[in-house]
């Protein structure tokens, strides 16, 4: 994940912004209890990116990955419209209580820019249904140049999307956060349609740390910089998730990227171990990189 990459991560102020008041209002609607669902994973499972993660002789990368992690960002679905059969094959290969978080195809988000995309959207939803119980939350990522002037398209897409299929969205144009009127309208729309507002933690785009939840779920895309600060940043996230948990947060979907992805399993193992100790969960800690 090269998005937000900087030449000198050590010069970046990585402190997390304060929680937005909206988050407390949203989470206040839910009873405070143990987490309902926690998923921590990487963005890819292929051997090329996660070099040295797989033991020698591994024949099926997805089967092994799913034996170590409980989830993955399914970024492959962004690049093409896979047929139902492919999602069915992935469902069969993944072990145990595993979930895929499919990304909306770029033909919908980036090429058509949500315009006249109902048929494609319906086809995509139909195609991912073979994931069955292994389907997690779908996520929509919009282009950097897709700004508030396209609000009507966002509204139509959200209202067209079936409520039975959980959806989250990542907005990258800075005006979604710097324009108070646009931010308010967007968040009200997401709350009304139960769409989770993704938070992206990247060195070069600190404006995307809006800290403004719209549902009982926190979907965080964490982009490490292959730098020692990656670990202290994760420690800060544990503090923030504890704060939100005490407010009523129910679900955590935390996906770890790196500029050089081979370090992602190691960073994920660190975060999962710390998360288990903090919250009393028993998420499997993946085996770290083989040397």
Q: pLDDT tens across 54-84, in order?
A: 998 899 999 999 999 999 999 999 999 999 9
DSSP for residue 109: I
pLDDT above 90: residue 90: yes
Q: Look at residue 289 in the predicted model and tell me its pLDDT.
A: 61
Give residue-wise pLDDT tens across range 112-136.
Answer: 999 999 999 999 999 999 999 999 9
DSSP label at residue 111: I
Three-class DSSP category at 229? helix
pLDDT of residue 132: 97
SS3 258: strand
pTM of the predicted structure, to 2 decimals: 0.96
CB 94 within 8 A of CB 60: no
- Chain-wide mean pLDDT for the chain? 94
What are phi and psi for residue 222, nearest 5 degrees?
A: -100, 120
What's the pLDDT score for residue 291?
46
Structure-block tokens of residue 97: 């209580």
Q: For residue 49, is pLDDT > 90?
A: no
pLDDT at 290 over 70: no
What percent of the chain has a predicted confidence (pLDDT) above 70? 98
């Amino acid at each position: 994940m090269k998005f937000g990459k900087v030449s000198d991560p050590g010069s970046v102020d990585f402190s997390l912004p304060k929680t937005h008041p909206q988050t407390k209002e949203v989470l206040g609607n839910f009873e405070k209890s143990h987490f309902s669902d926690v998923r921590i994973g990487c963005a890819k499972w292929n051997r090329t990116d996660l070099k040295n993660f797989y033991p020698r002789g591994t024949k099926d990368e997805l089967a092994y990955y799913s034996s170590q992690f409980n989830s993955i960002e399914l970024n492959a679905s962004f690049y093409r419209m896979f047929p139902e059969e492919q999602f069915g094959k992935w469902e069969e290969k993944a072990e145990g209580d595993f979930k895929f978080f499919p990304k909306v195809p770029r033909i919908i988000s980036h090429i058509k820019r949500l315009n006249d995309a109902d048929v494609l959207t319906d086809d995509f939803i139909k195609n991912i249904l073979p994931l069955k119980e292994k389907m997690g939350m779908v996520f929509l990522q919009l282009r950097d140049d897709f700004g508030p002037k396209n609000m009507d398209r966002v509204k139509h897409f959200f209202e067209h999307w079936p409520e039975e299929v959980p959806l989250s969205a990542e907005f990258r144009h800075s005006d979604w956060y710097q324009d108070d009127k646009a931010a308010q309208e967007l968040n009200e729309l997401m709350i009304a349609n139960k769409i989770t507002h993704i938070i992206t933690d990247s060195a070069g785009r600190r404006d995307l740390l809006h800290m403004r939840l719209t549902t009982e779920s926190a979907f965080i895309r964490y982009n490490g910089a292959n730098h020692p600060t990656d670990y202290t940043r994760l420690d800060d996230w544990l503090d923030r998730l504890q704060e939100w948990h005490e407010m009523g947060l129910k679900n955590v979907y935390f996906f770890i990227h790196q500029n050089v992805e081979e370090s992602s399993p190691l960073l994920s193992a660190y975060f999962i171990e710390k998360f288990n100790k903090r919250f009393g969960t028993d998420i499997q800690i993946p085996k770290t990189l083989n040397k």
